[in-house]
Amino acid sequence: MAIATVNPATGETLKTFDALNAGEIEDRLVRAEQAFQIHRTTSFARRTELLLKAADLLEADQDGIARTMTTEMGKPLVQARAEAAKCVKTMRWYARNAEGLLADEHPDPADVGDSGAMRAVVRYRPLGPVLAVMPWNFPLWQVVRFAAPALMAGNTGLLKHASNVPQTALYLEELFRRAGYPEGCFETLLVGSGAVEEILRDPRVAAATLTGSEPAGRSVASIAGDEVKKTVLELGGSDPFVVLPSADLDKAAKVAVTARVQNNGQSCIAAKRFIVHNDVYDAFSERFTERMAALTVGDPMDENTDVGPLSSEQGRSDLEELVDDAVHQGATALCGGRRPPEHRAGWFYEPTVLAGITPTMRIHHEEAFGPVATLYRVADLDEAIELANDTPFGLSSNAWTRDPDEQARLARDIQAGGLYFNGMTASHPGLPFGGAKRSGYGRELSGHGIKEFCNMTTLWYGPEE
């Protein structure tokens, strides 16, 4: 894939970039390793100062970087600004909390005394340069939620960003440089996915994190496995949104729309499958469809736009194929199901609600990465749980019920990395984030995320006499 900024709202190629050659990649690997030797020994106070400076700079740049993101991948500008603000918040959160999260642990002498230890300490030390292979859909956020904890832990970062967001990728490198990080602490590698294997196999690269599709995750994880290097994988999702009779239906329908179409429907944690109890199916379906059909599709730079274009022509045709396959097999489009006729340029698709989904349809098992919702009718909670789990993915999930017994059942039986009651899934720096099943493994954010790229070292002190 060419490394280029192509505006998805117009299809126009705005800027192209040459991929780094072998010598340029080598220079960056040398710098990343040298920077690690400096950065790993810096105090938490200094790391905090650097990250807070980066957060301040990003806050000042909020509108400019939001426009760059919208231009490169088409998310509504209002949402791009919110993404930048969330990055600032997360940087400050890790700047404030990292030292406490990574504080030495002192096992109780009563538990370890028979090991012969006078005392023992568990210490979290950084691993080294970490390769981050990142997607375009939250081009700032996905990187920051890796970089903020990784840098606070004393690691250095090598970013291989998606090929369609090169300007955002270069902005990130520049941001950390301007904040005062030693050269090489955070570097952007403008390379295609074909260059990842050699970089990952390089002995100077300690570990890798990948956010993206399942095939990309499988490839990176198998190379890393071959090299015995740690990985964290944040892959796709097809999150269920379960609505049960005690739900506040107006609120559920309103939140369901946001949960489905935020980021133009291209979010891993978007609710994609709406599983509704028979008693409230008709009422929910009517409210949800009405709201989906009323969304404003258009120029993502316009602050009144709800849904912008998909990020690429390929992304739109993949989505169209899923919808067409379902409709040919008997699904009904309650709204949408086509390209909006008023937008001939760019890669727009109408917000769509599909009912009558059956397991033979591809969309039943595959991730719909765009503003397309599938609606299911179920007879009871058992059927809702069975259907919610009938997916290869297990990223997050949503359930609308005010019944504590139902909540307890769902909390026990839903197979996913998250379950959000009476609300929609949203990541937060203080909460662990990650998936089960084919949605990946490992966690980002919170204290769990910062420890993923640490060497948990046991220090054992024997008697000194």
Burial (Cβ within 10 Å: 0-12, 13-18, ≥19) of residue 62: middle
Query: Cα separation of 40 and 152, whole Å?
Result: 9
Which position among 367, 370, 373, 424 is part of the footprint of ligand NAP (CB under 6 A)? 367
Residue 319 as a binder of ligand NAP (CB under 6 A): the answer is no
Residue 192 as a binder of ligand NAP (CB under 6 A): the answer is yes
Closest CB 262 distance from ligand NAP, rounded Å: 12
Q: Where are the alpha helices (DSSP H) in 329-368?
A: 362-365
> Residue of minimal CB distance from ligand NAP?
212
Give the tokens for residue 458: 């046991």
117 contacts 462 by C-beta, under 8 angstroms: yes
Stretch that binds ligand NAP, among 23-31, 206-214, 253-261, 348-356 (CB under 6 A): 206-214
Helix, strand and coil in the chain, % to nearest 5: 45, 20, 35
Query: Cα separation of 272 and 256, whole Å?
Result: 9
Nearer to ligand NAP, 196 or 244 (CB): 196
68 contacts 305 by C-beta, under 8 angstroms: no
Residue 262 as a binder of ligand NAP (CB under 6 A): the answer is no
Closest CB 311 distance from ligand NAP, rounded Å: 8
CA dihedral over 18, 19, 23, 27, signed as positive or negative: positive
Residue 280 as a binder of ligand NAP (CB under 6 A): the answer is no
Q: CA 238 from chain center: how many Å?
A: 13
Q: Which of 72, 83, 173, 234 is catalytic?
A: 234
Query: Cα separation of 387 and 400, whole Å?
Result: 15
Residue 158 as a binder of ligand NAP (CB under 6 A): the answer is no
**Closest listed residue to residue 356, CA positions, set 328, 330, 384:** 330
Active site residue 87: no
Nearer to ligand NAP, 236 or 449 (CB): 236
**Closest listed residue to residue 146, CA positions, set 442, 457, 456:** 442
Stretch that binds ligand NAP, among 121-129, 154-162, 327-335, 384-392 (CB under 6 A): 154-162
Residue 430 as a binder of ligand NAP (CB under 6 A): the answer is no
Q: Exposure pattern of 311-322 as b/e (b: 16+ CB <10 Å)? A: bbeebbebbbeb
Q: Which of 87, 185, 268, 454 is catalytic?
A: 268
Which residues are 127's β-sheet partners?
none
Residue 416 as a binder of ligand NAP (CB under 6 A): the answer is no
Q: CA 267 from chain center: how many Å?
A: 7
Residue 274 as a binder of ligand NAP (CB under 6 A): the answer is no
Residue 162 as a binder of ligand NAP (CB under 6 A): the answer is yes
Residue 124 as a binder of ligand NAP (CB under 6 A): the answer is no
Q: How many residues bind ligand NAP (CB under 6 A)?
A: 31
Active site residue 187: no
Nearer to ligand NAP, 234 or 306 (CB): 234
Given the rule CB under 6 A, which residues bind ligand NAP? 1, 133-137, 142, 160-163, 192-193, 196, 211-213, 216, 219-220, 234-237, 268, 367, 369, 395, 435, 439-440
Provide the annotated active-site residues: 234, 268
